[in-house]
Amino acid sequence: MQQREWLDIYLEGWRTGDAEMSLSATSPGFFYDDPDTGRIVRSGFLRFFADFKAAGASLAGGKVPMPFLDYSDLTVVDTNPAIAWCWWCVTGTDFRGTACIRFDQSGVLSERIAYFTSNPTETTI
């Protein structure tokens, strides 16, 4: 499979809220960095994804929106490993941020996100 195909599968899983789909596109050493949760290794990804969806649903009237994530400004730098950068938003909410995803022929290597707005479980002053 071409490296860009791994990225497309990974993002489609997030877009549709299908954790198994996203996980299927990851490499064995995959990790996900969340500024609030910390580093999530591949074996903890499904639980993290479920918690992330629940947080998004809590802001969308208690129901997981469809599509779950909307993406904009996707930029891909075809290096090895390749890097993709994008803005993401839980559909219909203000829960949004940016992501930097590294991937190669073996799959998605990592994703690091930053929030543009507060984590929905945090209280703001």
Domains of the chain: which residue ranges? 3-115
* DSSP per-residue string spanning 84-101: EEEEEEETTSS-EEEEEE
Report the CATH number of the 3-115 domain: 3.10.450.50
Dist CA 102 CA 32 (whole Å): 10
CA triplet 15, 78, 110: central angle to 5 degrees?
50
pTM score of the predicted model: 0.91
Predicted local distance difference test score (pLDDT) of residue 110 = 98
Dist CA 77 CA 58 (whole Å): 34
Q: What is the pLDDT along the chain (125 residues), one digit of tens a residue?
A: 799 999 999 999 999 999 999 999 999 999 999 999 999 999 999 999 999 999 999 999 999 999 999 999 999 999 999 999 999 999 999 999 999 999 999 999 999 999 986 555 665 54
Predicted local distance difference test score (pLDDT) of residue 116 = 85
Predicted local distance difference test score (pLDDT) of residue 120 = 56
